[in-house]
Amino acid sequence: MEKNLPPIGRNLPRFSLEERDRRWGRLREKMAAGQIDCLLIWSSNATYNMSSANMRYLTHTDSTGVCLFPRVGEPVIYSGYLHVYVYQTVMQDWVKDIRPVPSPENIIREIKERGLERGTIGVIGFGGSLARWYPEIVPYGAHTRLLKGLPEANFVNASWVLDELRMIKSAEEIKRLDEAAVLAYAMFEAVVKVARPGVKECEVWGAMLHACVGNGGEDTMIMLDSGSPPLLHGRMSPATSRPLKKGDMIITEYHSNYGGYTIAVEHTFSLGKPAKEFLAMHRVAETAFSHGVSKMRPGAVYGDVIEAFRSPVREAGLAYVEIGICGHGLSSPEFPSTVFGGEGGIWHEHGLAQIPVVKLQENMVFGTNMDVHNPAWNANTGIMLGDTIHVTSDGPRQMTKIPVEMTVI
């Protein structure tokens, strides 16, 4: 398979052609059932390249631009950059036809040449659709020109199709997530090794990122806060140059990324003995983690799983920024995902506060989120706990070796 690729392609995380054919076959079955003649899949490098998840799932490239994916025939990728598209052709062997400049006129010309100008065209934006974390986006100007240039075509929203297909992971995807889990542990170890009084917060952040990228991973999300006490949940970059102090807490939510696949971790560190209030919150979070994860089995009602995570926190009289689970794979959140809402929660009208009617299935993968605080003590600080769980026929499997307990350094 790889002998026809140059060294750059052979030295990257790869999926087989059999995996490609599995994905394309399943997608085309759904397209036939929905009488969709072709798809236009928009892609962006936003949110740590997670907005290219649909493109990457189908083409093995995270190219910024658009993919024309027909029900019959070979797909075309219109890459966003003249100086980048050439690399996309040598980094993978799934798609042979990669072209620069994703202009609507080029796409319209190709659709007409394939005789699909009166067909049904499914549009898939980048960003979230069913998960609804960041809004699904299709470039307005480009879409307007497509409508004008293809007046007899029937454009339909098809984003849900790939959301559904990506929900159940294949054996090759699980293997890739397990490889990402190794990087997640290396990022955890980096904090344990580097975080000391006098070390800058940005040095800890940098050590985590190096542990991922320096071991073959990709740029990835790190949210972190430190202090005595830290603020709720953690924050995105930039990290501060504030030196850590004895007695500080470090709370972090981060992703490792290997070949585009992400493992989610939330963890709390203490530089020295933590205050009893933090230990009490963490014990509740550990109970919630154990109780919720134990329910994550094939056939479990999704709403029952969410309630299992929430109930220990509610019964302890605590509150939370996030409690629940997020679908994980090429992006986060994937469908289904629920972390907000509920008694003691926030953003009750947000899409991620909704509880869809669905049952867990084998080879679903979820990040778990326990971001607990005690408003009766201090409403502005809290702890974080979470790991990624693989739903197997034998029950839930924690994908990393990171301890559930708070780490005291």
Q: How many CA atoms lie within 13 Å of 202's alpha carbon, on the beta-carbon side?
A: 6
Confidence at 141, pLDDT banded by 50, 70, 90? very high
- 1 confidence band (pLDDT: 50, 70, 90): very low
pLDDT of residue 8: 63
CA-nearest of 90, 121, 75 to 2 is: 90
What are the pLDDT digits (tens) for 3-22? 566 666 678 899 999 999 99
Q: Identify the band that residue 64 occupies on the pLDDT scale cut at 50, 70 and 90.
A: confident
Query: In the chain, what percentage of residues exceed pLDDT 90?
Result: 81
Q: Which of 101, 81, 104, 90 is nearest to 60 (CA)?
A: 90
Q: How far apart are CA 270 and CA 229, in angstroms?
A: 10
Kindly report, residue by residue over 260-272, the tens digit of the pLDDT: 999 999 999 999 9
- For residue 296, give every residue at least 6 positions away whose Cβ sits within 8 Å of its Cβ, in sequence order, or none: 305, 325, 360, 366, 389, 391, 395, 396
| pLDDT at position 132 over 70 | no
Q: How confident is the model at residue 335 (pLDDT cuts 50, 70, 90)?
A: very high
Query: Which CATH architecture fits 2-167?
Result: 3-Layer(aba) Sandwich (3.40)
Domain ranges of the chain: 2-167, 171-408
**Mind listing the pLDDT tens digit for each residue in 245-299?**
999 999 999 999 999 999 999 999 999 999 999 999 999 999 999 999 999 999 9
First-to-final CA distance of the chain: 47
What is the average pLDDT across 46-73? Answer: 91
| Domain 171-408: top CATH class | alpha beta
